[in-house]
Chains A and B, each alone.
Chain A
Amino acid sequence: MIRVENVWKSFDEQPVLKDISLTFERGKTNLIIGKSGSGKNVLMKCLVGLLEADRGRIVYGDLDFSAMGYRQRRVIRKELGMLFQGAALFDSMSVTDNVMFPLSMFTTMSRKEKEMRAAFCLERVNLHGADHLQPSELSGGMKKRVAIARAISISPKYLFCDEPNSGLDPPTAILIDKLISEITEEFNITTVVNTHDMNSVMEIGDKVVYIYLGELWWVGSRHEILHTGNKELNDFVYATELMRTLKK
């Protein structure tokens, strides 16, 4: 579980996050949604420690992440899996080497042990047999799956996904969403997904957080989001003609 308590963040005295307080549940897929520039990316970076909150606390389990120094945070960093937008694989490395990278950075496992762990993770994302391939030989969906395998290789307690299905066709995007959701439940991970894809929201959103102009505007489940009376959220959810037609 991750607790965000009264977090503020400003750039050039312009507040981007305003007094955000919420909880991300363990074993659930937590989605942060919002328009571009709403502050959801900044919130995500504050969560993983790439940006420091000006005020407030971020607590992982019982550990106050905000109060920790660089070295102390390494304990928590070892438990963070990260899935970057666009997969962000190392082009010069094979699929197996990509998956093994966090293991090399965070563990003292032997090469054999790392290879076994990588094989397990690739098997889990249904990429058995692709271990020797280079990223250039993979489709967009396969790259995402390799990235997920890399993210879960260190058996993370927390998984952060930044626009995990951007650039994918709808069927592949749904496959990736489902894979993230399955892994979350299977390994009892606290997953936080940053997205503005309503398909993802409707597919895997156990808990949905809507950020509007830097403020926590709405919190609920994917079942509740379609029936909310919140005007700003409705503007976001029913922004497309398709959604408006479906609502009618």
Chain B
Amino acid sequence: MLHTLILIAKLIRESALFALTSIVANKLRTVLTLLGITIGIFAIISVFSVVDSLERQIRESISALGDNVVYIKKWPWTFDTDLQWWQYANRPSPRLRELEEVQRRTGSVEAAAFLASTRRRVEYLTTSVESVSIAGVSADYDQVRNFSLHSGRYFSQTESSAGRNAIILGYDLAENLFPNTDPIGRSVKLFGHNMTVIGVFEKEGLGGFGDTHDDSAVIPIQTLAQFINVDQDRYGPFIMAKPHPGITNAELIDDLTGVMRSIRRLPPVAENNFSLNETSLLTEGFDELFAIITLAGWIIGGFSILVGGFGIANIMFVSVRERTSIIGIQKALGAKNYFILWQFLFEAVLLSLIGGIVGLLLVFGGTAIVVSVFEIDFLLSASNILLGVNVSIVIGLVAGFLPSWSASRMDPVVAIRSTA
């Protein structure tokens, strides 16, 4: 048994060396054949890498939003087909006073916050940034929304309730306004008033929903209310509610539904005129979306790889034809069928693998460029590398089998006649 294994190992080595020599001897043909697989692997792994990166960013964003937080909004995140769009448009927006009612009347809510936003210019001395997203938030915003501060602190209870002129800047906004200066304690001008910078958010990067704090600023809702009517529709007001530990989202939604209907004095037969949105709804939606994109990736990349596979099969048939005499001599000198089969199969797999690796290198180069130019967290993962390598090997095996099998079954008389 051991003797047989040693012999097989030696024959495989001999076959591999034979195949390698053939590939090196036909460089141009090898390169042209590789192109199909290279493009295929590049396409499929690029799509998967994009999907993976997007999925990771979106899940991180959802996680930042709080995976157990319920958003009370005018508009739903997923539309109910029974209602028409104008029925949603006619709904009232959540109001600031409703936040107080929610906090007071629900038993399941641990923390709730109100948020409304607008866009304004922010100035510091001679520097100004136009159209900055200014969010007014109520006191418990820090308990329902996950974020970290790079420096400074969050609003105190007094600053929130009294509507003091305090502001927390996003990381990029702070960098733009205070390029070489520590902004904490300094005053920026907003709505024509001085606001004291009390904190700077940690850099969050490009979020999947564009909900990053990086380019925005946050002030107490009572401060914002001094300049605009925060209950107005155009400022997109909404309430975020987070349940007590042990309370499920379903229980929280039941509780909030009852309380909101009561606050808005809706009769029993009336439809809700508010939407309770869960981040899990987004997750489910994105699961479906990513499944579709992944399928599309397989189909697009699959066709490219299929074409590459045909290319390899074609060139292997040519290779078998060209080497008919060599096959004949090998057989006459004692080569067994499986030696010939393995020799050509190895060559096909090697071709496909080289093509796949070049494709992976292109993806790697592409991700490096995207990361450096666009500053997007884009990554060629180990699992995608493994997938690319595996797909290459399988395509090489499938595409190379028929030519290799035909070579191994070749009649040595015919082969030797071609020698003569």
CB-defined contacts of A90 to chain B, threshold 8 Å:
326, 329
CB-defined contacts of B339 to chain A, threshold 8 Å:
105
Contact B413 A50 (CB under 8 A): yes
**CB within 8 A of A84: which of B3, B10, B21, B416?**
B416
Interface centre among A78, A88, A162 (most CB of B within 10 A): A88
Q: Is A217 engaged at the interface, CB distance under 8 Å to the other chain? A: no
Which residue of the partner chain A has the closest CB to B25? A92
Total contacting residues, chain A, CB less than 8 A: 22
Contact A82 B333 (CB under 8 A): yes
**Those of A34-56 within 8 Å (CB) of chain B:** 45, 48, 50-51
**Those of A96-124 within 8 Å (CB) of chain B:** 101-102, 104-106, 108
CB-defined contacts of B326 to chain A, threshold 8 Å:
90
Q: Is A144 engaged at the interface, CB distance under 8 Å to the other chain? A: no
**CB within 8 A of A106: which of B18, B21, B325, B334?**
B334
Taken together as a complex, chains A and B put the C-alpha atoms of A200 and B325 apart, in Å, by: 26
Q: Is B335 engaged at the interface, CB distance under 8 Å to the other chain? A: yes
Contact B419 A84 (CB under 8 A): yes
CB-defined contacts of A150 to chain B, threshold 8 Å:
333
Q: Is B7 engaged at the interface, CB distance under 8 Å to the other chain? A: yes
A121-158 contact mask (Cβ, 8 Å, vs B): 1 or 0: 00000000000000000000000000000100000000
Taken together as a complex, chains A and B put the C-alpha atoms of A88 and B419 apart, in Å, by: 7
**CB within 8 A of A88: which of B11, B325, B412?**
B325
CB-defined contacts of A92 to chain B, threshold 8 Å:
18, 21-22, 25
Contact A104 B413 (CB under 8 A): no
Contact B329 A108 (CB under 8 A): no
CB-defined contacts of B420 to chain A, threshold 8 Å:
85-86, 162
Taken together as a complex, chains A and B put the C-alpha atoms of A44 and B214 apart, in Å, by: 86
Taken together as a complex, chains A and B put the C-alpha atoms of A150 and B333 apart, in Å, by: 9
**Those of B142-168 within 8 Å (CB) of chain A:** none
CB-defined contacts of A50 to chain B, threshold 8 Å:
332, 412-413, 416
**Those of B290-345 within 8 Å (CB) of chain A:** 325-326, 329-330, 332-336, 339
Q: Is B14 engaged at the interface, CB distance under 8 Å to the other chain? A: yes
Contact B333 A105 (CB under 8 A): yes
CB-defined contacts of B10 to chain A, threshold 8 Å:
104, 108
Contact B413 A105 (CB under 8 A): no
Q: Is B373 engaged at the interface, CB distance under 8 Å to the other chain? A: no
- A residues adjacent to B (C-beta < 8 A): 45, 48, 50-51, 77-78, 82, 84-86, 88, 90, 92-93, 101-102, 104-106, 108, 150, 162
20 contacts between A and B (CB under 8 A): A48-B332, A50-B413, A77-B334, A78-B334, A82-B332, A84-B332, A84-B416, A86-B419, A88-B325, A90-B329, A92-B22, A101-B330, A102-B333, A104-B10, A105-B330, A105-B335, A105-B336, A106-B334, A108-B10, A162-B420
6 closest A-B pairs (Cβ-Cβ)?
A: A105-B334, A92-B21, A102-B333, A50-B413, A106-B334, A88-B329
